[in-house]
Amino acid sequence: MNRSTRLVLTSTLAALLMVAGVACKGGTETQPANPKPPAQPSPSPTAPAPAQKPAPSEAPAAPAEEGKKEEAVKVSPEAQKEADSLFASLCSTCHGATGHGDGPAAAAFPVKPASFDTKEFQDRVSDEEMRKVIVDGGPAVGKSPLMPGNPSLKDKPEVVEALVQKIRSFGKK
């Protein structure tokens, strides 16, 4: 059995064990990652709300910079190579080599992985949300607990950016 086949089988087994663990714990795709806090009681309609004035020593807040875009992270060839390797060994297990959500482990999931090539996915998911899912996993954005995070990438913004670009590239085909 070659290394690639062993990796797919190991990843599939790990995914099945995760499914079994989630099923035993009663976890579901629809559980919110951060439930809403309880509503605060509204102030009495007869008592006016006190006016909020900044203290004289406080400087006024700086206006938000309009039109400022997030500075793009440049991807080095080394980071691209690492991202390609990670996608092939980890992401493709569920999302498939071509990003269709048809990886070998996907068959065992109650909720199928995202297909990166659809216009709906590409329009709905921001780059920032992708970065968060890649590093922190599905639960960080209210998605499946079966989507594991990659905390080792927290300090590798170039690799994360290369993965986001790879995911975006599936929508351009």
- pLDDT tens figures, 138-152: 999 999 999 999 999
> Is residue 5 predicted with pLDDT exceeding 80?
no
Q: Where is average pLDDT lowest: 54-58, 121-125, 166-170? A: 54-58
> Is residue 96 predicted with pLDDT exceeding 80?
yes
24 to each of 18, 76, 165, 170, how far by Cα in Å? Answer: 10, 43, 36, 35
- pLDDT tens figures, 21-71: 333 333 333 333 444 444 444 444 444 444 444 333 333 333 333 333 455
Q: What is the pLDDT of residue 134?
A: 97
User: Is this prediction's pTM over 0.85?
Assistant: no
Q: Which residues contact 143 (CB under 8 A, 6 or more apart)?
A: 29, 33, 133
